[in-house]
Amino acid sequence: MKYLLVLPIALLAAPAVAQSTTPAELLAQYSTKAGAEASAERGQALFMADHTGGKPDTPSCTTCHTADPKSAGQARTGKPIEPLAPSANPERFTDLKFVEKWFGRNCNSVLGRDCTAAEKADVIAWLASL
Amino acid sequence: MTDATSTRFAPSGEPVRVWDIWVRLFHWSLVASISTAAVTGFILGAQYIALHIASGLIAMALVAARIVWGFLGPTHARFRDFLRKPAEILSHLTGGDTGRHLGHNPAGGLMMLGLMAVVGLLAHTGLAGLGGAMKTGPFLSLPYAIGEAGLELHEVLALLLLVMILAHVVAAILESRRSHENLARSMVTGIKESRPGDHPSHLARAYPRLALLVIAILAGAIAVSLRQNTHAPAFAPVVELDEIFAEECTACHLAYHPSLLSAVEWREIMGGLDEHFGEDASLDSETNARITEWLISHDASTAQTRPAHQFAGAREDPTGSITETRAWADLHESLSERTFFRAPIYSKSNCSACHADAETGWFSPFQIRISKETPR
């Protein structure tokens, strides 16, 4: 019970150093924060959908990450992006600060708002299942 | 030499060697080198700069050698044979002088002098531009503004040279018709036909060995003076990139060098990362402050490069990109629009796809290689 109170503070506290973690650990943390079971199906739907609330050049996660998270994506600048699925890229979801930075940026670019803990849990659940 | 002596005594209708082998070699080598310099300069893009400079320098060297030959060569190679007083040139042009000149006529002689002068000025303005604006070559310590002025003048002179060459060719055709002889062929064979009423020539013997010696001494003197001028240019763009800058900024794009923009522009960009060219690229405030500080302390005012002068402060719209500036468009006009979007370039912002030294801030014309299209 006590760690439930500490977790949100830890997540908000913008840590200065890399914080190593695992996809499973992150999934557990976001699910706990959301207070609901994560769903890989909902995660896939969010990832694949075209959204309208964000910036016009980036309507979907797939704009840069492509529809196949096991293969490399490409930034609008032409620079390659390493695959998102941990099965294809073991570096993914192993650094909390990095994960928070990119959810923060990309949710704003695509949705025009922050993602909820439930949405983050759903997307990680789907990516980790691939 | 014997050819020259024969001109006076040759009976009319006799073939006479007017242009010695060196004058002819000079003429056609100059045609080849100027053509190469014109095609690479006017038509082909900056990636042909090395060929452009080489052909221009060869033209300059040919002219220098020709000037020596103008004092030490045989009769018709000499300046004395074809450089006339203004009154004589005027009289020739207005039809007052009807005699035929075996060598260059007075107007032709003036054109020779003009062509040599313009080629010489082209070489010097080109080298001044290369030194002052691009910080390469023998004149790299020239101030940037002088280099830029040199390049502007270089362009004007190049157009002038084209007009002069056109006039030279037209004059040769008209004169060939008028005097019923093929002047272009004479410049290949060296032979003309002597005729009654030809202007007598002031005979001169050639000193080929002395000429070679003078040319060798000139070449040696230039080589020695160039060797003494190899110090690094002042105001070079910062070499070592800040670690955090490189790590954060290269997550999505190449490390745009701090010398490409002014401090004011870097502040605008770093203050608006949540709207960074269509994406949210926010950083935590501590990281942002550190990168901003590093960028503005190595901004365009610290570097004497061409991009620093052309791009900093050039963005019409403060949120706009370098690729939307007029200067950028002018520099890339030889490329088709679709070149930028094909693999492996993908985007105009991907400078390093073609500029190997993009991340150094130099953008040297010697470092350009347009990426070949690859399958996506």
pLDDT band at B6 (very low <50, low <70, confident <90, very high): very low
- Summarize the confidence of residues B153-168 as an average pLDDT: 97
Same domain, B175 and B273: no
CB contact under 8 A, B350 and A78: yes
What pLDDT, in 10s, does the model give residues B45-91?
A: 788 999 999 999 999 999 999 999 999 999 999 999 999 888 888 88
What pLDDT, in 10s, does the model give residues B301-311?
A: 999 899 999 99
In a domain, B321, yes or no: yes
Q: Where are the alpha helices (DSSP H) in chain B?
A: 2-9, 21-38, 49-72, 79-82, 86-93, 106-132, 144-178, 183-189, 208-227, 243-249, 263-271, 285-297, 306-311, 326-331
Same domain, B347 and B251: yes
Rounded to whole angstroms, the Cα distance separating B135 from B125 reads: 14
CB contact under 8 A, B350 and A79: yes
pLDDT at A18: 67
pLDDT at A68: 96
pLDDT at B4 over 70: no
Q: Is A95 helix (H, G, I), strand (E, B) or coil?
A: strand
Evaluated on CA atoms A54, A76, B361, B315, the torsion sign reads: negative
What pLDDT, in 10s, does the model give residues A80-109?
A: 999 999 999 999 999 999 999 999 999 999
List the single residue in A56, A78, A109 with the smallest CB-CB distance to B347: A78
Q: Which of B148, B129, B150, B149 is nearest to B140 (CA)?
A: B129
Same domain, B14 and B154: yes
Same domain, B222 and B243: no
| Chain A residues lying within 8 Å of B254, measured CB to CB | 77, 79
Mark which of B170, B200, B227 sits at the end of a domain. Answer: B227
pLDDT at B5 over 60: no
CB contact under 8 A, B279 and A78: no
pLDDT at A19: 78
What's the N-to-C CA distance of chain A in angstroms?
32
In a domain, B51, yes or no: yes
Contacts of A12 (CB under 8 A, 6+ apart): none
pLDDT at B87: 86
Residues B12, B195 contacting (CB under 8 angstroms): yes
Highest mean predicted confidence (pLDDT) among A111-115, B41-45, B221-225, B368-372: A111-115
Same domain, B221 and B311: no
The residue of chain A nearest to residue B343, with distances taken between CA atoms, is: A78
Same domain, B91 and B206: yes
pLDDT at A111: 96
pLDDT band at A16 (very low <50, low <70, confident <90, very high): very low
CB contact under 8 A, A75 and B253: yes
Contacts of B32 (CB under 8 A, 6+ apart): none
pLDDT: is B315 or B58 the higher one?
Answer: B58
pLDDT at B256 over 50: yes
Same domain, B9 and B45: yes
The pair of structure tokens assigned to B121 is 């000025």
In a domain, B374, yes or no: no
In a domain, B372, yes or no: no
0.80 surpassed by pTM: no
pLDDT at B149: 96
User: What residues are paired with B100 via a beta bridge?
Assistant: B198
Same domain, B142 and B74: yes
- Summarize the confidence of residues B237-259 as an average pLDDT: 94
Which helix or strand (DSSP H or E) is residue A108 part of?
helix A96-111
CA B115 vs. chain centroid, Å, equals: 15
- Summarize the confidence of residues B215-224 as an average pLDDT: 93
pLDDT at B140: 85
Same domain, B248 and B217: no
pLDDT at B101: 86
Same domain, B204 and B283: no
Same domain, B110 and B251: no
Residue B190 sits in which domain range?
A: 4-227
Mark which of B227, B261, B294 sits at the end of a domain. Answer: B227
List the single residue in A16, A78, A104 with the smallest CB-CB distance to B282: A104
CATH of the domain at B31: 1.20.950.20
pLDDT at B56: 97
User: What residues are paired with A80 via a beta bridge?
Assistant: A74
Highest mean predicted confidence (pLDDT) among A39-48, B79-88, B179-188: A39-48
- Minimal Cα–Cα distance from B359 to chain A, Å? 15
Mark which of B192, B227, B262 sits at the end of a domain. Answer: B227
Residues A122, A46 contacting (CB under 8 angstroms): yes
pLDDT at B266 over 90: yes
- Minimal Cα–Cα distance from A73 to chain B, Å? 11
- Summarize the confidence of residues B333-340 as an average pLDDT: 88
Residue for token pair 């985007």: B347
The pair of structure tokens assigned to A122 is 């759903």
What's the domain count of chain B? 2
pLDDT at B11: 55
CB contact under 8 A, B286 and A105: no
Give me chain A's average pLDDT, please. 88
Same domain, B179 and B250: no
pLDDT at B45: 77
pLDDT band at B232 (very low <50, low <70, confident <90, very high): low
**Of the candidate ranges A3-7, A49-53, B60-64, B166-170, the one whose mean pLDDT is the lowest:** A3-7
Rounded to whole angstroms, the Cα distance separating A38 from B174 reads: 90
CB contact under 8 A, B253 and A77: yes
pLDDT at B314: 84
The pair of structure tokens assigned to B171 is 């004059």
pLDDT: is A82 or B93 the higher one?
Answer: A82
Residues A30, A121 contacting (CB under 8 angstroms): yes
Rounded to whole angstroms, the Cα distance separating A43 from A122 reads: 4
- Minimal Cα–Cα distance from A1 to chain B, Å? 31
**ipTM reported for the complex, 2 dp:** 0.82
The proportion of chain B whose per-residue pLDDT surpasses 70, expressed as a percent, equals 94
CA B149 vs. chain centroid, Å, equals: 13
In a domain, B232, yes or no: no
pLDDT at B336 over 70: yes
The proportion of chain B whose per-residue pLDDT surpasses 90, expressed as a percent, equals 62
Give me chain B's average pLDDT, please. 89
Rounded to whole angstroms, the Cα distance separating A79 from A73 reads: 9
pLDDT at B12: 63
pLDDT at A14: 44
In a domain, B373, yes or no: no
CB contact under 8 A, A74 and B284: no
pLDDT at B176 over 60: yes
Q: Does A75 touch chain B (CB under 8 A)?
A: yes
